[in-house]
Amino acid sequence: MTPNAATLDAPTLDAATLDAATLDAATPDPPNNYLHSTLLRLATAGSVDDGKSTLVGRLLHDSKSVLADQLDALERVSRDRGLAHADLALLTDGLRAEREQGITIDVAYRYFATADRSFILADCPGHVQYTRNTVTGTSTADAVVLLVDARKGVLEQTRRHLAVTALLRVPHVVVAVNKMDLVGFDEDIYTQVAADLAVVASELGLPDLRTVPVSALEGDNIVDRSARTDWYEGPTLLEVLEALPVADNPGDEEFRFPVQLTLRPQGAARDAAHREYRGYAGQIASGVVRVGDPVVVLPSGRATTIAGIDTADGQLDLAFAPRSVTLRLVDDIDLARGDLIAAAASAPEPTRDLVATVCWLSHTPLSKHSRLLLKHTTCTTAAIISAVDGVLDLDAVRIVAAQDLGLNDIGQLRIHTADPIAAEPYARHRRTGAFLLIDPQSGQTVAAGMIGNPLRKDSETATDSLAGNGDHA
Amino acid sequence: MNKGRELAEHEDLKEAEAEFAAGRLVLDHLDTLESESIHIFREVGAEFERPVLLFSGGKDSVVMLHLAAKAFWPAPIPFPCLHVDTGHNFPEVLAYRDRAVAEKGVRLEVAKVQDYIDDGRLSERTDGTRNPLQTQPLLDAIADHRFDAVFGGGRRDEEKARAKERIFSLRDEFGAWDPRNQRPELWNLYNGRHRPGEHVRVFPLSNWTELDVWRYIARESIDLPELYYAHQREVFERDGMLLAVGQVSQPQESETVVTKQVRYRTVGDMSCTGAVESDALTVHDVVIEVAATRITERGATRADDRLSEAAMEDRKKEGYF
């Protein structure tokens, strides 16, 4: 590209004035790196007034993910409201009701990128329907960014956020100890909060919790290092997020493949060579698959072998989660949507009776629903709740007796299903251990379910009051 | 013409084997996004009776069509395309649209805003913009064809209201979006249950950014309408935007027509879609330009989205894309 600044008028693009080499050095997201760029999914958590929207706005702003027209709009609106500085929270509050009420209502998804990594950030509101939104936002997250007010330290609310994070089995937690500017960037205060958090993490069995002292409002240690925390030698928040491993290594997981649909084009094949084609399309839920691998099809239990791994771009010898592929099998067996293809050596036992932890998401309590639909991977079946074992006390992190579940309750249920499902403990299989409960009349999603008790630590035995036959594997 | 050939070929197999040998198994971010989108297409293909894909020839809908073909390969795409034609389209985009659906062997339905204006069901707005007029023909086409799932190319990075949109978004018989009462969306378990008369809008590109779309177009060598690349065009400036001189966008006396080298970041109603000055002749140039740009694509090119802070939210509530 030739620099050609003389002809530029608004609206224009800065790129016209820069050459590619300058850009690679100057932009946070050089275009040529994309073949090796990875994707990390984040969710935020925090109480009201912890400054979460400000932190997200700061991350977007300081990583140069906010563009000029968005900043102009932000400054204009902030001025109209009589604010001295641009209110970064306005970047994330997208609905009119949110702006009018100055609160965040719904999970909002934000995107930003650095040289080697793209981020999807689910910004979860702190108060309205807190549990419902946080469970939604964290269900897909590789890491949770939790805010703690340095002045207040670890509150009951913080413990609750961390309990939900542990329940959803999010691999990493990064705690931004915020508002350090309001405690004079005091090292002792930060050290105490970090120590308290470590204790909670250990109690909850969180595998990886890191802390960073920040001021979201003033930008300390978010993207750029703060000169006001010279006692802190660790990474900034963005540096932590850039270095986190992306999800689990599929090489360490058991292969699971829920079948979405059978591809059998016959006469309609786009190429005559595929008239006899029969493949099973899906997204690998966990693990690695190779041509020649022995597998079992569930719930039938038929054993067979992988004959081919196909994509529209050609055949693969090997594929791993979360890639979408189409599998061909050596044997001609009856197989349909809802079936699971699993590694022969580790296949789960299909069952019609589950013990599960559910988060109730509906305003109508559980007791008003006699029959539900249960959606597990690509399989939807009728379900009845055979017993309510109790409700989770998030403060004490234990199950207490209860007869019913209401909005935002997390409870332990026994569920009986019409068809057998390839149930697996959520603690080990985030994809094939999760399910939805759906009201067949309204069609609403009423609960998010996790098979077994994800909060139970591995060291505890099957006699634990929370264990059930979902934990058999 | 393939603009992306100059870019590195993607060698899945070699890369995967090398990563496996090195003990690292991580999909790169475009593969991750592609796999997520293919999963969404297949869920809809399996669970809905009558899906349809909104196809305008714009880059996001082109990427959707490309992903749909991959999702069902070697079977054909199992649903038709629908274009809501404002009557204010760029002629080269319409020609591209017809060529693209023919290549993929997909049926195209067209709902024309002009028909509604001709018989009086809709009247022309005073500002001449037809984007908001697309809602009624869209909803009528959905009802007439009894479409139960409608794929749209909306991305959450486009606009603040879209950032709150679900991937599966339920619409009532009026096509209305109720942002305060959306179904929670957990893991990759999509709930597409709907009652007669209701339909589900499905957004397979929800998690893609403008830059991701361009990188993918480059990687996959996807053909696009030529106006996405820099070319000479007669334009005039209005409300800070460069509008093309055409049948529906005539300059007023005070507006001077000049020939500039421009390209389009979005394509839509000619009367309100602005061009940007650009030297980006190839897809690689565009990737670099988008990576460096300091203005959002809607801010730069869509007059109708500048109407108010909640312009998009209001239109979506009424059933807009």
Tell me the CATH number at B103. Answer: 3.40.50.620
- Domain final residue, candidates B209, B242, B257: B209
Q: Is B260 on the interface with A (CB under 8 A)?
A: yes
Range from A84-98, A139-153, B234-248, B251-265 carrying the lowest mean pLDDT = A84-98
Give the model's pLDDT for residue A132. 81
Residue at A402: amino acid letter:
A
Residue B57 lies in a domain: yes
Which residues make Cβ contacts (< 8 Å) with residue A84, sequence separation at least 6? none
Q: What is the 3-state secondary structure (H, E, C) of B14-43?
A: HHHHHHHHCCCCCCCHHHHHHHHHHHHHHH
User: Does B5 have pLDDT greater than 50?
Assistant: no
- Are B151 and B262 in the same domain? no
**Helix and strand element counts for chain A (H, E):** 8, 23
Buried b (16+ CB within 10 A) or exposed e, A370-391: eebbbbbbbbbbebebeebbbb
Range from A90-99, A212-221, B242-251 carrying the lowest mean pLDDT = A90-99
Contact A241, A254 (CB under 8 A): no
* Highest mean pLDDT out of A109-118, A169-178, A270-279: A169-178
Residue B87 lies in a domain: yes
The whole-angstrom separation of Cα A56 and Cα A70 is: 15
Q: Which of A19, A40, A90, A118 has the most B C-beta neighbours within 10 Å, making it the best mutation to test the interface with B?
A: A118
Torsion of CA B229, B231, B236, B237, to 10 degrees: 40
Query: Between B183 and A184, whose confidence is greater?
Result: A184
Which residues make Cβ contacts (< 8 Å) with residue B61, sequence separation at least 6? B53, B54, B55, B153
Alpha helices in chain B (DSSP H): 12-21, 29-47, 59-72, 91-104, 113-118, 135-144, 210-220, 283-292, 297-301, 311-317
User: Does B4 have pLDDT greater than 70?
Assistant: no
Backbone phi, psi, residue A424, to 5°:
-140, 150
- pLDDT tens profile A333-390: 989 999 999 999 999 999 999 999 999 999 999 988 779 999 999 999 999 999 999 9
The whole-angstrom separation of Cα B150 and Cα B131 is: 18
Distances (CA, A) of B148 to A104, B83, B169, B186: 31, 16, 12, 22
User: Does A213 have pLDDT greater than 80?
Assistant: yes
User: Does B204 have pLDDT greater than 50?
Assistant: yes
Cβ-based contacts of A13 with chain B (< 8 Å): 276-278, 289, 292-295
Residue B2 lies in a domain: no
From-to residues of CATH 3.40.50.300 in chain A: 37-243
Query: Between A465 and B182, whose confidence is greater?
Result: B182
Compute the nearest-CA separation of B114 from chain A (Å): 31
Share of chain B above pLDDT 90, in %: 54
The residues in A 372-401 lying below 8 A from B, measured between CB atoms, are 373, 375, 377-378
Give the model's pLDDT for residue B11. 47
DSSP B74: T
- Are B194 and B226 in the same domain? no
- Are B239 and B194 in the same domain? no
- Are B49 and B182 in the same domain? yes
Contact A62, A222 (CB under 8 A): yes
* ipTM score: 0.87
Give the model's pLDDT for residue B297. 64
Give the model's pLDDT for residue A467. 35
The whole-angstrom separation of Cα B247 and Cα B235 is: 13
- Are B142 and B266 in the same domain? no
Q: Is A41 left (phi over 0), alpha (psi -120 to 50) or beta?
A: beta
Share of chain B above pLDDT 70, in %: 83
Residue B5 lies in a domain: no
Compute the nearest-CA separation of B30 from chain A (Å): 8
- Are B192 and B224 in the same domain? no
User: Does B225 have pLDDT greater than 50?
Assistant: yes
Contact A228, A236 (CB under 8 A): no
Give the model's pLDDT for residue A470. 38
The residues in B 291-310 lying below 8 A from A, measured between CB atoms, are 291-296, 299-300, 309-310
Give the model's pLDDT for residue B313. 65
Beta partners for A212?
A176
- Are B34 and B138 in the same domain? yes
Please give the average per-residue pLDDT across A298-317, as a whole number: 96
Distances (CA, A) of A160 to A18, A55, A130, A157: 49, 20, 10, 5
Query: Between A98 and A293, whose confidence is greater?
Result: A293
User: Does A147 have pLDDT greater than 70?
Assistant: yes
Contact B171, B199 (CB under 8 A): yes
Beta partners for A309?
A316, A327
CATH code of the domain occupying A37-243: 3.40.50.300
Please give the average per-residue pLDDT across A68-73, as a whole number: 69
DSSP B282: S
- Domain final residue, candidates B187, B209, B231: B209
Q: Is A293 on the interface with B (CB under 8 A)?
A: no
Please give the average per-residue pLDDT across B103-110, as a whole number: 96
User: Does A104 have pLDDT greater than 80?
Assistant: no
Give the model's pLDDT for residue A76. 75
Give the model's pLDDT for residue B21. 55
The whole-angstrom separation of Cα B209 and Cα A163 is: 32
Q: Which helix (H) or strand (E) holds A358?
A: strand A351-360
Give the model's pLDDT for residue A116. 80
- Are B304 and B198 in the same domain? no
DSSP B89: -
Kindly report the average pLDDT of chain A as a whole number.
83
User: Does A404 have pLDDT greater than 50?
Assistant: yes
Contact B73, B170 (CB under 8 A): no
Residue B317 lies in a domain: no
Share of chain A above pLDDT 70, in %: 81
pTM score > 0.80 for this model?
yes
Range from A143-147, B262-266, B298-302 carrying the lowest mean pLDDT = B298-302
Kindly report the average pLDDT of chain B as a whole number.
85
Which residues make Cβ contacts (< 8 Å) with residue B237, sequence separation at least 6? A9, B243, B255, B256
The whole-angstrom separation of Cα A363 and Cα A406 is: 7
User: Does A294 have pLDDT greater than 60?
Assistant: yes
Contact B227, B93 (CB under 8 A): yes
Which domain does B249 fall in, by range?
212-311
Question: Encoding tokens for residue A97?
Answer: 């009701």
Give the model's pLDDT for residue A3. 35
The whole-angstrom separation of Cα A42 and Cα A39 is: 10
Give the model's pLDDT for residue B16. 53
3-state helix vs strand vs coil in chain B, percent to 5: 40, 15, 45
User: Does A44 have pLDDT greater than 50?
Assistant: yes
Please give the average per-residue pLDDT across B24-34, as a whole number: 88
> Searching chain A, which residue's CA lies closest to the CA of residue B219?
A35
How many domains, chain B?
Answer: 2
Please give the average per-residue pLDDT across A105-129, as a whole number: 80
Fold for the domain defined by A251-346: Elongation Factor Tu (Ef-tu); domain 3 (2.40.30)
Packing angle, helices B29-47 and B59-72, rounded to 10 = 70
Q: Is A106 on the interface with B (CB under 8 A)?
A: yes
Question: Encoding tokens for residue B138?
Answer: 């869209």
Torsion of CA B126, B127, B128, B133, to 10 degrees: -80
- pLDDT tens profile A18-42: 333 333 333 334 444 445 688 999 9
* C-beta neighbour count of A183 within 10 angstroms: 18
CATH code of the domain occupying A351-471: 2.40.30.10
Query: Between A93 and A452, whose confidence is greater?
Result: A452
Cβ-based contacts of A5 with chain B (< 8 Å): none
From-to residues of CATH 2.40.30.10 in chain A: 251-346, 351-471
Residue B153 lies in a domain: yes
Residue B53 lies in a domain: yes
Compute the nearest-CA separation of B53 from chain A (Å): 19
The whole-angstrom separation of Cα A311 and Cα A327 is: 9
Residue B16 lies in a domain: no
- pLDDT tens profile B138-166: 999 999 999 999 999 999 988 777 888 89
End-to-end CA distance of chain A: 59
End-to-end CA distance of chain B: 30
The whole-angstrom separation of Cα B41 and Cα A135 is: 25
